[in-house]
């Protein structure tokens, strides 16, 4: 009896201990993938610090890349620690672990073949530090360029979107408009908008408005085509049901056709945004005196390739942000089609 | 014969109606020929017959979605020329608007008719009537087939139509859900006194629900006979499914369908 009691006591104790452990275990967890980025950043730092720069490297004094790595290390360690405690961070950061690791390995590789070994002509392939330096040196100009490009893009997309919606609805909804406008779109639409450059430069008073036209043109075509096809392919039964519920023509258009076509219209908007980047870059290279496209082109002519790369990085981030923003809006507006359409 | 004459409106008169379509080869096809029939207010009618006999065409003519080639159709003495809210329509596929939630789907008719503010209460009422409380915010694709069909019913009924046209509304449902829905439909019918015109392939369903059955035959597509269902209704307003009268009537209808010399093709979608 006595022994039994004692045994049960120890078992209780053990159980309690286990409970605490498992409670902690529920809170605290370790995912090895969260350590990988830290390791790779460390490797990058070690490479940068201990391998000497090539003796012919220009501007070996620039430390931007190293500071960037230090900040990266701090962030990586912070996330690794946080992910011990917070499940959400652990899952997301862990999931991205391999990718981030890859990024820093790639940077290290770049660092080695440029600054350390100078395997490539440095005028075309400057060191990472020099590219990063541009962000600090040229901040003001770059910001103006971002602002200018953004304004061009917004104006172009807005005008193109509005006109595209009007044309798309007209063609999709009315047989007569379809008869008159559709052939014109068939002929004009597929012409790449940059081809219009010579004409645009003549018609419009300045390069900026010509650029807006070129962007708007591409957007207009995409939106028109997809709005029209979206409206035409709406399930006829929706219109039948709606009209037996008392809907009139305008209800059928605004309450049935447009919402039903919204996913297709959004697809058109996405395509249009992507093609508008192309049009923007083309437009800015023809005569504008600011903008990201102009910046890259101008720096190329100056043989300032570090600035070219910096410009390209900014363009990439710029487009990425705009596209992401658009996806967010789509998810909000079209949440009803979750589980119906996959992108 | 007319058991539920709560409303004095909802009478349909079909006069010498003929409907032709042009098929893909450009030839004229007669979808419905020489139809003359009267449907009384508050009556429950089932249209039965094999495919291609013009059942759906008949329904769509009454709905006003298509117009007859010859002849006229009247609702309470007024000629039907286009779709209207006084003739509600429910398809086999509930065709709910996927971008609207359940509440907005049901409120759609009231909103487009600009009477939503005054009759807001009725939306809730119909949600309760079809037992979908708590699903107001759900989206159509989140609901089961039976629930979606109930939303479709409520959406048509909230307009308080004089006539409700049902095109195989329970065809896609399993047998059990179907029987439940039949009883619910009858309850609503008794409560509202709406004239019901329902297309079905299911002889049992027709006998269970209707006051009169229009048996239709293809080639030539027409109403072959009208069979009154003179069987007392039970407390759920339906008929006792295993009574001798029920079974007799059932075989009578099957005989009528066979009498035409055409094979009966069962089209149960269970």
Tens digit of pLDDT for each residue in B94-118? 889 999 999 999 999 999 898 888 8
- Secondary structure (3-state) at B44: strand
φ, ψ for residue B223 (rounded to 5)?
Answer: -85, 115
pLDDT at residue B73, as a whole number: 92
Judging contacts by C-beta atoms under 8 Å, the chain B residues touching residue A255 are: 108, 112
Q: Quickly count helices (H) and strands (E) in chain B.
A: 7, 10
Q: Is the pLDDT of residue B184 over 60?
A: yes
Using DSSP bridges, classify how beta strands B28-39 and B12-22 pair: parallel, antiparallel or unpaired: antiparallel
Structure tokens at A65: 């890349």
Q: Looking at the structure, do residues A156 and A281 belong to the same domain, yes or no?
A: yes
pLDDT tens profile B55-64: 888 999 999 9
Least confident of A18-32, A262-276, B135-149, B234-248: A18-32
Would you say B152 and B95 are in contact if contact means Cβ atoms under 8 Å apart?
Answer: yes
How far apart are the C-alpha atoms of A263 and A161, rounded to whole Å? 15
Output phi, psi for B248, to 5 deg: -65, -45
Partners of B89 on chain A (C-beta within 8 Å) are: 240-241, 244
Identify whether A246 is part of a domain.
yes
Q: Is residue A145 domain-shared with residue A92, that is, in the same domain?
A: no
Last residue of a domain, one of A137, A167, A185: A137
Rounded Cα distance, A272 and A232, in Å: 20
Q: Which of A92, A107, A137 is at the close of a domain?
A: A137
Tell me what the mean pLDDT of segment B139-147 comes to.
87
| Pair (A231, A106) in one structural domain | no
- Asked whether residue A93 is assigned to any structural domain, the reply reads yes
Q: CATH no. for residue A314?
A: 1.10.3720.10
Which residue of B lies nearest to A262 if distances are taken between CA atoms?
Answer: B99
Tell me the chain B residues in contact with residue A253 when contact means C-beta distances shorter than 8 Å: none
Cross-chain Cβ contact B139/A255 below 8 Å: no
Nearest Cα neighbor of B37 from B60, B19, B62, B3 is: B62
Residue among A47, A34, A105 nearest A76 (CA): A34
Mean pLDDT of B67-80: 90
Which 3 state secondary structure label does DSSP give B194? coil
Question: What pLDDT band is residue B202 in, cutting at 50, 70 and 90?
Answer: confident
CB of B141 less than 8 A from some CB of A = yes
A2: in domain = no
Q: Is residue A64 part of a domain?
A: yes
Name the token pair of B100: 């609207």
Q: Is the peptide bond before A252 cis (omega within 30 degrees of 0)?
A: no
pLDDT of residue B242: 82
Residue A26 resides in a domain: no
Task: Looking at the structure, tell me whether residues A290 and A164 fall in a common domain.
Answer: yes
CB contact under 8 A, B108 and A242: yes
| CB proximity under 8 Å: B 92-121 to A | 93, 95, 97-101, 108-109, 112-113
Contact B83 A243 (CB under 8 A): yes
Contacts of B83 in chain A (CB under 8 A): 240, 243-244
* Structure-block tokens of residue B41: 């207010």
Question: How are beta strands B78-79 and B87-90 bridged, if at all?
Answer: unpaired
Same domain membership, residue A106 and residue A144: no
List the structure tokens of A264: 């297709």
Domain that holds residue A158: 139-337
Closest A-chain CA to B113: A246
In a domain, A4, yes or no: no
Angstroms from A336 CA to nearest CA on chain B: 5
User: Model confidence at B6, in pLDDT bands (50, 70, 90)?
Assistant: very low
Segment B231-245 shows an average pLDDT of 82
Res B62: pLDDT: 92
Pick the residue with more confidence: A8 or B11? B11
| A118 and A200 part of one domain | no
CB contact under 8 A, B88 and A245: yes
A-chain residue closest to B83, CA distance: A244
Domains of chain B in start order, with CATH, are: 1-86+161-270 (3.40.50.300), 96-160 (no CATH)
Q: Tell me, yes or no, whether A241 and A117 share the same domain.
A: no
Indicate yes or no: CB of B108 within 8 angstroms of CB of A340: no
Whether this model's ipTM surpasses 0.90 comes out as: no
Contacts of B216 (CB under 8 A, 6+ apart): B47, B48, B49, B53, B54, B55, B58, B222, B223, B224
Mean pLDDT score across all residues of chain B: 84
Q: Does B19 touch chain A (CB under 8 A)?
A: no
Residue B177 has pLDDT above 50, yes or no: yes
Say how far apart CA B38 and CA B41 lie, in whole Å: 10
The pLDDT-based confidence of B240 (bands split at 50, 70, 90) is: confident
Q: Say which DSSP state B4 is in.
A: -
What pLDDT sits at residue B263? 53
Residues A214 and A190 in one domain: yes
Residues of B with Cβ-Cβ distance to A254 under 8 angstroms: none
Chain B contact set for A334 (CB, 8 A): 99
**DSSP-assigned letters across all residues of A259-323:** HHHHHHHHHHHHHHHHHHHHHHHHHHTTT-SSSHHHHHHHHHHTT-HHHHHHHHHHHHHHHHHHH
B89 has a chain A CB within 8 A of its CB = yes
Residues with pLDDT less than 50, chain A: 1-2, 342-343
The answer to whether A241 contacts B63, with C-beta atoms less than 8 Å apart, is no
Q: ∠ CA(B243), CA(B146), CA(B164), 5° rounding?
A: 75
Measured CA angle at B135 (ends B130, B140), to 5 deg: 90
Q: How close A252 gets to chain B, by Cα (Å)?
A: 10
Considering only CB atoms, A251 lies closest to which of B91, B112, B139, namely: B112
CB pair distance less than 8 Å for B99 and A262: yes
Q: Find chain A residues with C-beta within 8 A of B84's C-beta.
A: 244, 246
Residues A210 and A263 in one domain: yes
Q: Are residues A50 and A123 in the same domain?
A: yes
Domain count, chain A: 2
Which two structure tokens, joined as six digits, stand for A44?
């990058």
Last residue of a domain, one of A122, A137, A152: A137
Question: pLDDT by residue (tens digit) across A262-274?
Answer: 889 988 888 888 8
The answer to whether B126 contacts chain A (CB < 8 Å) is no
Q: Same structural domain for residues A42 and A182?
A: no
Question: B228 — contact with chain A (CB < 8 Å)?
Answer: no
Is the pLDDT assigned to residue B230 strictly greater than 90?
no
Cα–Cα distance for residue pair A78/A81, rounded to 1 Å: 5
Quick check: is A211 in a domain?
A: yes
Contacts of B97 in chain A (CB under 8 A): 238, 256, 259-260
Residues in A whose CB is inside 8 Å of some CB of B read: 235, 237-238, 240-248, 251, 255-256, 259-260, 262, 334, 336-337, 339-340
Whether A196 and A298 share a structural domain: yes
| SS3 call for B25 | coil
Count of Cβ atoms closer than 10 Å to residue B228 Cβ: 11
């Amino acid at each position: 009896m006595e022994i039994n009691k004692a045994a049960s006591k120890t078992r209780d104790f053990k159980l309690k201990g286990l409970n605490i452990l498992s409670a902690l275990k529920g809170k605290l967890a370790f995912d090895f993938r969260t350590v990988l980025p830290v390791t790779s950043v460390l490797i990058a730092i070690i490479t940068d610090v201990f391998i000497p720069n090539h003796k012919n490297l220009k501007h070996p004094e620039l430390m931007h890349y190293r500071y960037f790595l230090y900040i990266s290390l701090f962030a990586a360690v912070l996330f690794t620690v946080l992910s011990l405690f917070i499940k959400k961070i652990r899952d997301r950061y862990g999931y991205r672990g391999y990718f981030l690791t890859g990024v820093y390995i790639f940077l290290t590789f770049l660092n080695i073949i440029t600054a350390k070994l100078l395997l490539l002509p440095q005028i075309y392939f400057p060191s990472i530090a020099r590219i990063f330096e541009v962000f600090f040196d040229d901040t003001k100009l770059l910001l103006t360029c971002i602002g200018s490009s953004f304004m061009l893009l917004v104006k172009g997309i807005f005008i193109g979107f509005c006109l595209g919606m009007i044309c798309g609805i007209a063609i999709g909804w009315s047989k007569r408009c379809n008869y008159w406008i559709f052939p014109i779109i068939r002929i004009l639409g597929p012409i790449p908008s940059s081809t219009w450059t010579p004409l645009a430069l003549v018609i419009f008073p300045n390069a900026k408005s010509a650029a807006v036209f070129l962007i708007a043109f591409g957007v207009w075509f995409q939106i028109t085509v997809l709005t029209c096809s979206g409206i035409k392919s709406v399930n006829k039964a929706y219109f039948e049901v709606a009209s037996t519920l008392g809907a009139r023509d305008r209800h059928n258009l605004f309450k049935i056709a447009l919402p039903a076509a919204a996913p297709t219209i959004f697809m058109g908007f996405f395509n249009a945004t992507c093609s508008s980047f192309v049009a923007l870059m083309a437009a800015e290279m023809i005569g504008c005196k600011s903008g990201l496209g102009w910046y890259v082109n101008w720096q190329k002519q100056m043989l300032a390739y570090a600035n070219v790369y910096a410009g390209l990085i900014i363009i990439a981030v710029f487009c990425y942000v705009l596209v992401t923003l658009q996806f967010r809006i789509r998810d909000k507006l079209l949440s009803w089609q979750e589980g119906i359409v996959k992108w | 014969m007319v058991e539920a004459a709560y409303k004095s409106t909802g009478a349909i008169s079909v006069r010498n109606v003929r409907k032709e379509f042009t098929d893909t080869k450009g030839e004229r096809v007669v979808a419905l020929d020489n139809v003359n029939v009267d449907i009384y207010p508050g009556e429950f009618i089932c249209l039965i017959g094999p495919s291609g006999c013009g059942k759906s065409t008949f329904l769509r003519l009454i709905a006003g979605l298509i117009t007859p080639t010859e002849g006229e159709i009247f609702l309470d003495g007024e000629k039907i020329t286009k779709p209207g809210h006084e003739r509600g329509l429910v398809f086999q596929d509930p065709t709910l608007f996927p971008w609207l939630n359940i509440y907005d789907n049901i409120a759609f008719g009231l909103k487009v008719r600009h009477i939503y503010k005054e009759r807001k209460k009725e939306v809730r009422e119909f949600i309760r009537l079809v037992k979908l409380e708590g699903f107001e915010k759900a989206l159509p694709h989140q609901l089961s087939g039976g629930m979606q069909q109930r939303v479709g019913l409520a959406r048509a009924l909230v307009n308080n139509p004089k006539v409700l046209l049902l095109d195989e509304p329970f065809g896609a449902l399993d047998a059990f859900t179907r029987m439940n829905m039949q009883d619910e439909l009858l309850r609503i019918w008794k409560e509202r006194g709406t004239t019901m015109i329902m297309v079905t392939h299911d002889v049992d369903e027709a006998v269970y629900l209707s006051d009169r059955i229009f048996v239709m035959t293809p080639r030539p597509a027409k109403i072959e006979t009208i069979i009154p269902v003179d069987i007392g209704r039970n407390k759920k307003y339906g008929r006792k499914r295993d009574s001798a009268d029920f079974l007799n009537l059932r075989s009578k209808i099957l005989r009528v369908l066979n009498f035409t010399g055409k094979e009966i093709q069962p089209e149960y979608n269970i």
